[in-house]
Structure 1
Amino acid sequence: MNRWLIRRVIKASGFRSGYRIPWNWKLGASLYNKESFKKTYREEAFKLILREVSRKSKFYREHLERYNLKNVKTPEDLGDFFTYPEQLESHSEDFICQKPDIYFETSGSSGKPKRVGFTYEDFLLLAFSTAQGFEKMGMEKNDLYLNAYSYGIWVPGLIIQNALGMLGVPAIPVGHQKAEVIFEKILTYKPSIVGILPSSLIIITKLAEEYNSELPKIRWFLTGAQHIPTKTKEWIKSVWNADVINGYGATEFGGTFAMECEEGKGYHFNDLMFWVEIIDPDQKGYGELAVTTLAFHSMPLIRYRIGDITRFVHDSCHCSLGTEKIDYILGRKDDMFKAAGNNLYPGYFSKAVVEGVFLGVEIDTREGIDCIRIRVTEGSKTDLKKLDTFILDTIEKGEIIVETKFESLDSRIRRKIPKLIDLRPR
């Protein structure tokens, strides 16, 4: 590679030189929109990571020995081989290719918390990718970011903090506090951007409605972990005059894996760092999300089936991010349940929530009929007419009962909330 070109790419990146980001990723970022480069880069990165895990990871060495890796050029070439969360949960040390410099844990919403390790270089790449996304979304050095994500063993707080440092954006590291504390800090520091969980955002917006003085001028809220309906976003914007941008992520992928843009047509993901597949798609394109990490040195994952149901979004998007997209998460594969002879996901019922936060569904029986309660935060509004036609027909026939159940946010202490609670007798 031409050294002069490498130096030009590094110099053009604009990030602080104190952070050691490998030149090849800066080069990749500069050539990102060239489709031919992207295809070649991903294929070469996949072959490289496949060789690494087959030599250094005990788990992959044992599971990939039946393949002639010289003939494997894409993840699909591995056929029926996948990596599953329970394997990572039970034998996380067998996935290690390089000694981790830092560990994070999953929330444990789908089982026992999983430990995921990253090298310092992995960590910086995640921060660099996050900084890139922030910059494309319009974040500037004169912004002030209030970070209300946890700085504990959960990944977002520290990744975002380092991304802000790369951009030279000052931060207020509030951490995951009570909503009243976050609201007080917003009034005190007057940030222009706030990173916050949706449940806390709902509460501080209610506090803002009751506040009698002028509110700080916030440009946008960055949220994640729970889906926010469009009507709720509109309500938040009417109170704060600020946009709400939702993210989707998993600790296994280094935190925020994909992000909405201002057009709100799904989640953009970094397709240089992640190879995404949709497994066994149905007629509408929905299937299980499988992700191969292309950049991590410590614990790379090959065809990791996280269990979330989504699909690719192929409609045009004119935002500044310009990367591939997946749709909003319909539900988890293990959250699929049967009611009135139908295979259903909690995500089907989120469509009824026009204002507030959708928490999931609770299923019970009443006089032999399945009763589905749509769990929402207190003060939410629902409209059952917005449900899919086949669900409305089933309700009309008296084959299922659908109700709304309001729950207090204050009792929620977990970062992720189970989307399915099945109380039916086994």
Structure 2
Amino acid sequence: MIWNKIESAPREKIEELQLARLKDTVERVYTLTPFYKKKFEELELKPSDINSLEDIKKLPFTKKQDLRNHYPFGLFTVPMSEVVRVHSSSGTTGKPTVVGYTQADMDVWDEVMARAFTMAGANSEDIVHNGYGYGLFTGGLGFHNGAGKIGATVVPASGGCSERQLMLMRDFGSTILTCTPSFALHMAELASTAGNNYLKDYKLKAGIFGAEPTSIGLKEEVKRAWGIDYHEVYGLSEIIGPGVACSCKSSPLLHVFEDHFFVEIIDPKTGESLPDGERGELVITPLTKQALPLLRYRTGDITSIIKEPCKCGRTLLRMESIVGRADDMLIVNGVNVYPSQIEHVIANAQGVTLNYQIIADKKGYLDKLEIKVEVSDEIMSDNISEMERIKKDIQTALLNNLYIKASVKLVEPRSIERSMGKAIRIIDKRV
């Protein structure tokens, strides 16, 4: 089922709509945002110079620091009397990035999230257990309102309180689960302590997961643990929140809602555009945002895009799952590696779980990498030969597949702290 017919429109129609909306957005920021007007003047550029989608390359990039430099409302293009909602990042690394929404922006957000729920097979008959955090974080309310748009019943569980969440899911008969994949796996582990047949107590049929880069192995583990269809949603608060893209039932690739978001892939070092199918940094220009329209926002997320239509009937271009972040990439003795690549290796190992932690340090002038991995409940820690075999298999796979030499330390089940939100996988002691 498709929520909006634009999702299956001919590419010519989609691109025609994109161009019209891009021109409007460029004119809007040039007229209403001194920051962008100055950028245009520095580039000797005017809105009238944008006459094709290819011309978007003429426009300046926007970075997270630009939002911080204009904290809190300096990049808004409407008076606060027209702003009906404000969200922000956590601000743990400095000033938070603040985003605002007009009622028109809220309507767009509800629309794209309704599309995501429809991709997961949800409708007004479903009960959505929303385990994303509410408050300034965009996840909880973004999913909440999208579920309401399709008429589903929403359980606003928020994050944490795992045992209570399991009780509510079981007693209310929830059919759709929305939360981070790491939290979904954590709850499945907790539910399984009740016995091997715990799934009979739940009615879940699908989940919509996001907010953290996730390997194929972790996705498969969540699917297996809950016996559900796995759908991945992508978004970020600076653009709208969750709802930029979502996967359907036919493919793990994510459909980008192109009528509202224009996406590019660039080389993160040079800023040059990369061809379809090649991995690079994702750049997004929202095409319909009123309160906070941004030009060519550099997300820092690494992915690739393709334009081939999907078997589901949608013609929207598709992006692969986020491989990692440009600023989360580890360089270990000259080798570039992302946590999700390490996670994929761990997922293929026997006798361990997907709860792990990467610790980077220095030994003299060389990088040293240690990876802590929890063993599964079935592995006996006193079986030294078995533990050594598992460690050796993982170390060999890391060397053969990623060309990195790492020390693997196997630890007891549930000894690595779980995250209720985004999993913190890396501790870099070199900086």
Q: CA deviation at 1:186?
A: 0.9
1:364 to 361, 378, 384: 361
Q: CA deviation at 1:70?
A: 0.9
**Residue 332 of structure 1 pairs with residue 325 of structure 2:** yes
Change in 2 beyond 3 A, CA 1:420/1:112: farther
Structure 2: gaps of 5 or more residues:
268-272, 378-389
Paired with 2:319 and 2:399, the residues of 1 have a C-alpha distance of 21
SS in 2 for 1:371: strand
Give CA deviations for 1:216-245 in whole Å, capped at 9, x if unaligned.
221012211224443444444344321222
Paired with 2:239 and 2:310, the residues of 1 have a C-alpha distance of 24
1:192 corresponds in structure 2 to 175
Change in 2 beyond 3 A, CA 1:255/1:408: farther
Paired with 2:229 and 2:362, the residues of 1 have a C-alpha distance of 40
1:19 corresponds in structure 2 to none
Q: What amino acid does structure 2 have at the position aligned with 1:403?
A: V
Q: CA deviation at 1:69?
A: 2.0
Deviating more after overlay: 279-288 vs 122-131: 279-288
Q: CA deviation at 1:32?
A: 4.7
Alignment of structure 1 residues 130-141 onto 2, 5 Å: 130-141=113-124
Q: What amino acid does structure 1 have at the position aligned with 2:187?
A: I
Give CA deviations for 1:174-222 in whole Å, capped at 9, x if unaligned.
1113222211111111111111222221122112222246322210122
**Residue 226 of structure 1 pairs with residue 212 of structure 2:** yes
Paired with 2:48 and 2:96, the residues of 1 have a C-alpha distance of 35
Deviating more after overlay: 114-123 vs 91-100: 91-100
Change in 2 beyond 3 A, CA 1:409/1:420: closer
Task: Assess if the C-alpha contact under 8 Å between 1:352 and 1:384 holds in 2.
Answer: no
SS in 1 for 2:406: strand
Give CA deviations for 1:83-115 in whole Å, capped at 9, x if unaligned.
111111121422111132211112446654211
* TM-score with structure 1 setting the length: 0.82
**Residue 207 of structure 1 pairs with residue 193 of structure 2:** no
Q: CA deviation at 1:30?
A: 4.5
**Residue identity (%):** 24
RMSD over aligned CA atoms reads 3.1
Alignment of structure 1 residues 6-405 onto 2, 5 Å: 29-30=5-6, 32-65=8-41, 66-73=44-51, 74=53, 76-79=55-58, 81-92=60-71, 93-99=73-79, 100-108=83-91, 112-212=95-195, 214-256=200-242, 257-280=244-267, 285-314=278-307, 317-319=310-312, 321-354=314-347, 356-357=353-354, 361-366=358-363, 368-374=365-371, 379=376, 383-384=394-395, 386-387=397-398, 389=400, 391-392=402-403, 395=404, 400-403=405-408
2:383 corresponds in structure 1 to none
Q: CA deviation at 1:384?
A: 4.8
Paired with 1:340 and 1:245, the residues of 2 have a C-alpha distance of 36
Task: Assess if the C-alpha contact under 8 Å between 1:279 and 1:287 holds in 2.
Answer: yes
2:429 corresponds in structure 1 to 423
SS in 2 for 1:159: helix
Paired with 2:131 and 2:308, the residues of 1 have a C-alpha distance of 33
Q: CA deviation at 1:40?
A: 0.6
Paired with 2:32 and 2:182, the residues of 1 have a C-alpha distance of 41
Change in 2 beyond 3 A, CA 1:202/1:154: same
Paired with 2:357 and 2:278, the residues of 1 have a C-alpha distance of 23
